[in-house]
């Protein structure tokens, strides 16, 4: 396991960067391009480990996928051209690959075995397996079919009307993708809208999909056709530098070409709520996704309460928001975020443990955390626990400490942001 000593001499961030492509959109582009007939070209693809797992999964089903840096070319004969993989499919660390792929495989006339790393093997798969079983899928696995490794015996599925009990775009997407392979209309009605990249991109590939408020209807058996996808910068990756600039004296940065899909921009709302000086300039829309530049300046943040419908819009940004809250005036409370317990780590526990080690006053609750502000953080020995977002939160925290921070197990950052340290060095070298 590799480690890094974080002891930056200059702690002011200035300049303009772009961040790598959006992880959610990159996964979907590979999946839908593989299900579509013809050629799909993906540009600004995120070559992070999670998205590479998605590429390998479809290559193992016979799809021609060629990647050169951040450009991916897919040639597929469509759903009917997919083959039964000879070997079990390795999902690595990726929850998104797991939940969406299980939805697709359930409707294909083959047998599949899926497994993942230690973290993914602890994450619940019954949340997707259960609605798929209602559609007729045969899915089994460890702990009564709840955990990986999982076996899917794909076949004929019937459409369903599904009201997810959990706020999860992965579950919504997995059911919609299974619905795509049925003969009728599948409806997913969410209580709170979650990220809608599946809906937007399926439309671009020619699916028959209809969205009204928080209800999505997909009519199955519609042929998808390959298309070109340009992936916007990932706002979840940008969030680390937006917060870093907000809390380090003299900083002023712009992140260009960031995805501004409204289901993902909760971090901008939180930064505004917390009094951070931030400016957003939307520039254009590509494939139903809006893109723009975000400028942030060093600010004196103030505490807030974060709860309710905003949570799915910031779910992956909460670790770095917790760090921001340690620098705010007052006490910040985060509620309704029990889903954090089912990520790469239990992110309530890992954020609380890590920030406490660095001197924060932070308490975990069943569905969130309470964070005292105006805290002087100090150095220490930390670990990512194999969770990329915890690793990046620690790196940003080290900009606030006089002493060095040791970060053990830093390589997991490549799961979503392989060039994170290069971009950080660039911003502090200006
Ligand atoms: O659909 C997606 O691409 C994702 C959905 C979210 O997970 P949940 O659906 O479990 O909330 C998010 O945490 C994950 O990083 C990506
Ligand atoms: C939760 C995440 O991803 P996944 O669920 O795809 O592993 C994440 O990227 O923070």
Task: Say if residues 176 and 183 touch (Cβ distance below 8 Å).
Answer: no
Tell me the CA–centroid distance for residue 430 and ligand 2, in Å: 31
Say what the pLDDT of residue 207 is. Answer: 98
Say what the pLDDT of residue 14 is. Answer: 98
Tell me the CA–centroid distance for residue 329 and ligand 2, in Å: 30
- The CA distance from 392 to 380, in Å, is 15
- pLDDT for 114-128, tens place per residue? 999 999 999 999 999
- The CA distance from 236 to 381, in Å, is 25
Q: Is 146 annotated as a binding residue?
A: no
Kindly provide the residue ranges of all beta strands, DSSP E only, lying in 213-288, ordered along the sequence.
215-219, 228-230, 252-259, 277-286
Task: Say if residues 192 and 339 touch (Cβ distance below 8 Å).
Answer: no
Indicate whether 288 pLDDT > 90: no
Helix (H) or strand (E) holding 397: helix 388-397
- The two tokens of residue 307 are 């709860």
Indicate whether 168 pLDDT > 90: yes
Within 8 A by CB and 6+ apart from 212, the residues are none
Sheet holding 380-383, edge to edge: 3-6, 405-408, 380-383
Within 8 A by CB and 6+ apart from 245, the residues are 13, 251, 252, 253, 296, 297, 298, 427
Q: Is 341 annotated as a binding residue?
A: no
Tell me the CA–centroid distance for residue 343 and ligand 2, in Å: 6
Say what the pLDDT of residue 193 is. Answer: 97
Reported as a pLDDT band with limits 50, 70 and 90, residue 327 is very high
Reported as a pLDDT band with limits 50, 70 and 90, residue 10 is confident
- pLDDT for 186-199, tens place per residue? 999 999 999 999 99
Say what the pLDDT of residue 123 is. Answer: 98
Q: Is 316 annotated as a binding residue?
A: yes
- The two tokens of residue 298 are 């060093």
Say what the pLDDT of residue 65 is. Answer: 99
Kindly provide the residue ranges of all beta strands, DSSP E only, lying in 260-366, ordered along the sequence.
277-286, 289-297, 305-306, 331-334, 362-365
Domain 3-21+232-429 has CATH 3.40.350.10: no
Strands 3-6 and 405-408: antiparallel
* Burial environment of residue 83 by CB neighbours within 10 A (0 to 12, 13 to 18, 19 or more): exposed
Q: Is 343 in the pocket of ligand 2 (CB under 6 A)?
A: yes
Say what the pLDDT of residue 243 is. Answer: 99
The single residue of 117, 196, 316, 423 carrying the catalytic annotation is 316
Indicate whether 282 pLDDT > 90: no
Say what the pLDDT of residue 299 is. Answer: 98
Reported as a pLDDT band with limits 50, 70 and 90, residue 287 is confident
- The CA distance from 380 to 346, in Å, is 21
Return the ligand number nearest the Cα of 312: 1
Indicate whether 184 pLDDT > 90: yes
Percent of the chain with pLDDT over 70: 100
Tell me the CA–centroid distance for residue 343 and ligand 1, in Å: 9
* Eight-class DSSP state of 80: G
Q: Is 67 annotated as a binding residue?
A: no
Give me the numbers of helices (H) and strands (E) for the chain, helices first please: 14, 23
Mean of the pLDDT values across residues 144-162?
Answer: 98
Mean of the pLDDT values across residues 370-399?
Answer: 98
The closest of 50, 91, 96, 93 to 315, measured between CA atoms, is: 96
Say what the pLDDT of residue 308 is. Answer: 98
Q: Is 49 in the pocket of ligand 2 (CB under 6 A)?
A: no
Task: Say if residues 122 and 346 touch (Cβ distance below 8 Å).
Answer: no
Return the ligand number nearest the Cα of 171: 1
Q: Is 116 in the pocket of ligand 2 (CB under 6 A)?
A: no
Q: Which of 51, 195, 231 to mutate to test the pocket of ligand 1 (most atoms within 8 A of CB)?
A: 195
Say what the pLDDT of residue 283 is. Answer: 86
- pLDDT for 15-53, tens place per residue? 999 999 999 999 999 999 999 999 999 999 999 999 999
Say what the pLDDT of residue 1 is. Answer: 86
Strands 277-286 and 252-259: unpaired
Indicate whether 387 pLDDT > 90: yes
* Eight-class DSSP state of 52: H
Q: Is 347 in the pocket of ligand 2 (CB under 6 A)?
A: no
Whether pTM exceeds 0.90: yes
Return the ligand number nearest the Cα of 100: 1
Q: Is 96 in the pocket of ligand 2 (CB under 6 A)?
A: yes
What is 23-230's CATH number?
Answer: 3.65.10.10
Domain(s) labelled CATH 3.65.10.10 in the chain stretch across 3-21+232-429, 23-230
Q: Which of 31, 127, 315, 347 to mutate to test the pocket of ligand 1 (most atoms within 8 A of CB)?
A: 315
Q: How many C-beta atoms lie closer than 10 Å to residue 203's C-beta? A: 15
Mean per-residue pLDDT of the chain: 98
Most distant CA pair in the chain: distance in Å?
62
- The CA distance from 424 to 289, in Å, is 26
Pocket of ligand 1 (CB under 6 A): 24, 95-96, 168-170, 173, 195, 315-316, 339
Mean of the pLDDT values across residues 183-188?
Answer: 98
Q: Is 127 annotated as a binding residue?
A: no
Residue nearest to atom 10 of ligand 1 (CA): 168
Reported as a pLDDT band with limits 50, 70 and 90, residue 113 is very high
Query: Which atom of ligand 1 is nearest to 27's Cα?
Result: 3
- pLDDT for 53-107, tens place per residue? 999 999 999 999 999 999 999 999 999 999 999 999 999 999 999 999 999 999 9
Task: Let me know if 316 is a catalytic residue.
Answer: yes
Q: Is 347 annotated as a binding residue?
A: yes
């Amino acid at each position: 396991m590799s480690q890094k000593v974080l002891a930056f001499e200059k702690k002011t961030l200035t300049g303009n960067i772009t961040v790598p492509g959006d992880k959610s959109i990159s996964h979907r582009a590979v999946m839908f391009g593989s299900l579509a007939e013809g050629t799909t070209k993906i540009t600004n693809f995120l070559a992070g480990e999670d998205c590479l797992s998605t590429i390998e999964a479809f290559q193992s089903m016979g799809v021609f996928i060629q990647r050169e840096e951040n450009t991916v070319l897919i040639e597929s004969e469509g759903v009917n051209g997919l083959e039964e993989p000879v070997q079990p499919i390795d999902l690595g660390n990726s929850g998104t690959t797991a939940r969406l792929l299980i939805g697709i495989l359930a409707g294909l006339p083959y047998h599949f075995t899926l497994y993942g790393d230690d973290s993914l093997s602890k994450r619940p798969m019954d949340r997707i397996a259960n609605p798929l079983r209602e559609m007729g899928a045969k899915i089994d696995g460890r702990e009564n079919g709840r955990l990986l490794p999982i076996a899917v015996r794909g076949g004929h599925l019937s459409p369903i009307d599904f009201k997810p009990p959990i706020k999860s775009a992965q579950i919504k997407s997995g059911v919609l993708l299974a619905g795509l392979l049925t003969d009728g209309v599948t409806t997913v009605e969410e209580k709170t809208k979650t990220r809608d990249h599946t809906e937007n991109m399926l439309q671009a590939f020619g699916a028959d999909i209809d969205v009204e408020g928080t209800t999505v209807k997909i009519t199955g058996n519609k042929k998808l056709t390959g298309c070109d996808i340009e992936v916007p910068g990932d706002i979840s990756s940008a969030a680390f530098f937006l917060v870093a600039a907000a809390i380090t004296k003299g900083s002023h940065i712009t992140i260009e070409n960031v995805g501004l899909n409204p289901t993902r921009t909760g971090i901008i709302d939180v930064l505004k709520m917390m009094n951070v000086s931030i400016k957003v300039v939307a520039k254009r829309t590509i494939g139903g996704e809006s893109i723009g530049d975000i400028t942030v300046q060093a600010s004196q943040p103030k505490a807030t309460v974060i709860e309710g419908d905003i949570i799915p819009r910031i779910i992956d940004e909460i670790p770095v928001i917790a760090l921001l809250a340690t620098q705010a005036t007052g006490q910040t409370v985060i509620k309704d975020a029990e889903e954090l317990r089912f990520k790469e780590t239990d992110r309530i526990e890992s954020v609380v443990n890590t920030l406490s080690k660095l001197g924060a006053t932070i308490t975990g609750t069943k569905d969130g955390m309470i964070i005292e502000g105006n805290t002087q953080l100090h150095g220490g020995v930390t670990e990512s626990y194999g969770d990329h977002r915890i690793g990046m939160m620690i790196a940003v925290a080290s900009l606030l400490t006089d002493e060095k921070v040791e970060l053990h197990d830093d390589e997991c950052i490549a799961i979503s942001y392989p060039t994170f340290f290069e971009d950080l060095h660039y911003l502090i070298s200006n």
